[in-house]
A = this chain, B = another copy of it.
Amino acid sequence: MSEAAAKTDHPLYQRVKDHIKDQIRAGVWAEGGRIPSESALMEAFQASRMTVNRAVRELSAEGWLNRIQGAGTFVAGQKLHSVLLEVRSIRAEILERGGRHTSQVRALDSVAAVPRLAKALELASNTQVFHSIILHLENDVPVQWEERYVNPAFAPNYLKQDFTRQTPYDYLTQQGPIEAAEHQVEALIPEEEVRKALHLEAGEPCLNLLRLTWSGGLVATRSHLLHPGSRYRFIGRQDYRSADRPGR
């Protein structure tokens, strides 16, 4: 009873989508293989082409299918090897779990960019760039060491800000919208200064999130976010049963 009821109270385009996904999951329509054309699906479901087209187009956008104009619609590769991990803002994370977020400004100055940094920011070597070190605490426990280099062309007034009241991230996103970002996660043993600030034992490892951000057509900032390896994790969860798939 619930079977038929569930079918009929879903919109038609959704039932077409579900059917196609079922066929793929069951292996009836194999990876790389061609699925029935829109006109065939129209016939099978007694639906109009617009309805079938919507179903197939949405599945294509969700990564289940690839469409080639003139040729047909094909089952996309599974891409199950790639996994998306969510990295949240430390401040949002703390506030969300009801914690109190505070921060200490450990440095806020201008430095000459070493060649490697200059290259990352797409500036000439030894150009002066802004530099800040902020220690983030959750209920007075240090959880993140944020070291950041900022392109002065992007945020000329960076050094005049009070970063105990607003995080550099929040300030920078006000200057201009993020256009692109690149992230790397690595494990490392922190330097002595960081180790002490994060209240780590000697030899305790850190999770380092390196982030490069583009805005206004230029590299806006490079940041290193160091977290105690024993007290901090990045966590992600995915559900392959639901409508969307990770890829694409």
Contacts and interface: CB of A to CB of B under 8 A. Distances in A.
A232 interface: yes
B188 A230 contact: yes
Nearest to A234: B185
A225 to B, nearest CB: 11
A41 to B, nearest CB: 19
Contacts of A186: 207, 229-230, 232-234
A177 interface: yes
A87 B177 CA distance: 26
Given A61-B58, A229-B205, A184 B234 contact: yes
A161 interface: no
A248 to B, nearest CB: 8
Among A85, A178, A238, residue most surrounded by chain B Cβ atoms (within 10 Å): A85
A237 B205 CA distance: 25
Interface in A157-206: 169, 173, 177-189, 203-206
A204 to B, nearest CB: 8
A178 B239 CA distance: 9
A49 to B, nearest CB: 13
A166 B19 CA distance: 31
Interface residues of A, number: 52
B237 A183 contact: yes
Contact of A82 (B82, B83, B87): B87
Contacts of A84: 84-87
A240 B178 contact: yes
B235 A173 contact: no
A233 B185 contact: yes
A11 interface: no
Contacts of A58: 61
A142 to B, nearest CB: 16
Contacts of A61: 58, 61
Interface of A: 25, 50, 58, 61, 80-89, 91-92, 169, 173, 177-189, 203-207, 211, 227, 229-230, 232-241, 244, 248
9 contacts: A80-B173, A83-B181, A83-B183, A83-B211, A180-B237, A182-B236, A184-B235, A186-B232, A207-B207
